[in-house]
Chain A
Amino acid sequence: MTVSRFRTIIYIVAAIVSLAGLADATYLSVQALTGETLGCGGSPDCFKVLGSSYARVAGIPVASFGVLAYFSVFTFATFAVFGYARARIFLILTIGAMFLATLWFLYVQAFLLHAYCRYCLFSAATTFLLAGLVIALPPGRDESVS
């Protein structure tokens, strides 16, 4: 397998994985905007996390930023598949920022709230997977689209 082909496969996998994160973040955003509580049914930890002040920034649900982030990853990965060289840089930067944000949210859940929410853990797993894919990207420049 050529390096170029391997990179393309990684971009495709990243795009697919980001769709799973996008679905999760969209669901959480809608849940936060409607005040719907059914999704947490029976899990006090889920309520503690999603009902905490850390779940919103200036009144905006943090899940909405997740929607933006995962959509950006999907966009950059898709463009990278088609050989847009800059997309790779943006993809790495976005996933790096998401990785740092995920570390912060895991810290909040573990040490400040002492509770975990399953949707947030799914999102964390998705971001870690994306970070792993980015790390696995072979170094060097992509072939550019003219």
Chain B
Amino acid sequence: MKRYLPFVIVAVVALATIGSGAMLYRAKRPQVLSIPANKMLGKGETQSAHIRGNPDAPVTLEEYGDFQCPPCGMFAIFLGQLEKEYDSRVRVVFRNFPLTMHEHAREAALAAEAAGLQGHFWEMHDVLYREQGTWSKTPNVRELFESYAGMIGLDLDKFRKDMDGDTARARVEADRQRGLSLGINITPTLFINNQPLDPKDKNPDGIRAEINAALAKKSQT
């Protein structure tokens, strides 16, 4: 028996490592859905919006956000809760609206779009908001954005090129122009099923009430 014991111990540890690694992987893998092209909100490359959640959800929550704006950062945390709470009943759309008063907001939007060109917009969106307090105060913000891209697993050369490229710039600008045409001047500005959210309702209870009302309205039709 003693002869086989080391084999048994090593096998048990190998299985435990593989098992715990697999469980961790399942828990941490990104839950971003890939949205078919025909489900995109806008048309054309520069108009395509970033959508997370069920493409056929009855409620669409559209946000015009600035990655450096602190209320947007706080809203991003709440948004995560909302997505879990409403699951397949709500889809989230993000549009860039970098405010000129924020030094790195435009570059952050470009970083998110550059990540989006590799299919990882939401991962970059999440890390930019989560680490907002850190990169907002950093002079060499580009270096940090590149390290975020590296951790997400992006092709760094492509990411660097895309951040300086026309496509990302055009996407950010298209979102901004769209926002300006709607009269947006603050962030986050929210729309629920294309209806602007009253600023007085821009709080957790107000947003939930509006989503519930939109859901009720949809179920009646």
Interface residue SS majority, chain B:
helix
B6 x A47 contact (CB < 8 A): no
Answer whether residue A69 sits at the interface, using C-beta atoms and an 8 A cutoff: no
Is the CB of B81 closer than 8 A to any CB of chain A? no
Residue pair B9, A78 in contact (C-beta under 8 Å): yes
- Contacting pair B152 A44 (CB below 8 A): no
Q: How many residues of A contact B (CB 8 A)?
A: 35
Does chain A have a CB within 8 A of B17?
yes
Contact B10 A35 (CB under 8 A): no
- Supposing A30-B24, A35-B30, A42-B131 touch, asked if A48 and B143 sit within 8 A by C-beta, the answer is yes
A139 at the interface (CB under 8 A from B): no
From A22, A38, A44, residue with most partner B Cβ within 10 Å: A44
The segment from A51-59, A94-102, A120-128, A130-138 found at the interface with B is A51-59
Interface pair B28/A34, CB less than 8 Å apart? yes
> When the two chains form their complex, are residues A44 and B138 in contact, meaning their CB atoms are under 8 A apart?
yes
Is B29's CB within 8 Å of the partner chain A? yes
Name the residue of chain B whose CB is nearest to the CB of A50.
B151
Q: Kindly supply a per-residue 1/0 record for chain B positions 152-179, scoring 1 wherever the CB is within 8 Å of any chain A CB and 0 otherwise.
A: 1100100000000000000000000000
Q: 5 A-B Cβ contacts within 8 A?
A: A30-B21, A36-B30, A51-B148, A75-B10, A79-B6
